Each structure stands twice: as structure tokens, then as C-alpha cells.
Structure 1
Amino acid sequence: MSIAAVNTRNQFSGKVINILVGQIVSEVEIETPAGVISAVVTTSSLNNLRLKVGDPALALFKATEVMVAKLN
């Protein structure tokens, strides 16, 4: 699954493995072939998507800034 209007390098498909629901924002963890991706979304968006653990999901990235550091 992918969304054609978005650069495919910025998409990772996977499965929802954990959801931490908060009053205003919630955290969603998606297991992908590249590893686990965690996203913070509004709880109202989470409810609108009707996401639950085990659902297939797509993580899309849009970054205006990326920092890189060398690991020793």
C-alpha cells in the first residue's frame, strides 16, 4: 500500500503494534521492515482513523529539518 501523490521514499507500510491514548494527543507505533516508527497524533485524528493494534498502516514523513550526528 502507498499513496502515489507522495514521494515513495517518504512512506513506510507496516502494522500498528502499540497505541498509547492520551486526552489530547496519542502515540502510535508502527512496525515496518525498516524498524518501529513512532508518531504523535491528536487523539481526535486517531479516533477518526479508527486505528487499532494489528491494523495495517502507512507512516508518511514530511520534514523541514533533519539533524545528523556522528556516533562513536
Structure 2
Amino acid sequence: MPVEVKLDIMMAQRKISGKELAAAVGITMTNLSILKTGKAKAIRFSTLEKICQVLACQPGDILTYVPEKE
């Protein structure tokens, strides 16, 4: 997938656990894991907004576009 999720890196920089982030954002640990591993097909803007609020970051800090090689 050409969109990489660097949520785990941002969480490490902010020293927040998955359990803490999931609780603060209001999502399950399972959904957070799906996001962290890049297996999610979509993310709601409201969820992305809450993640960015809690981590004090911009969406571009956790999501990057990497073109696929042909």
C-alpha cells in the first residue's frame, strides 16, 4: 500500500503506550493495532483528529505517501 503509517514511531517519541492511546482516542486496542500495522483500509477524520490531538502532531507525522515501485 502506498500510504505508510508511522504511528508506532510517533507513539515512541511521545512515550505513550498503545493502551493509553486507545483509551484517550476512544478506539479498541484491536483497531489501534490494525492502524499501527498498516492493515487499515481507511481511517475516519474524527479518529485521525483525536490521535493527532493526543500525540500533539500533524497527520503528516503519522501518514506518508510512498509510491509503489513498478
Smaller-chain TM-score range? under 0.3
Q: Which has the larger radius of gyration?
A: 1
Higher RCO (CA < 8 A, seq sep 6+):
2
Identify the structure with the greater helix proportion: 2
Structure showing the higher strand proportion among its residues: 1
With structure 1 as the length reference, what TM-score do the two structures score? Answer: 0.26
State the TM-score, normalized to the length of structure 2. Answer: 0.26
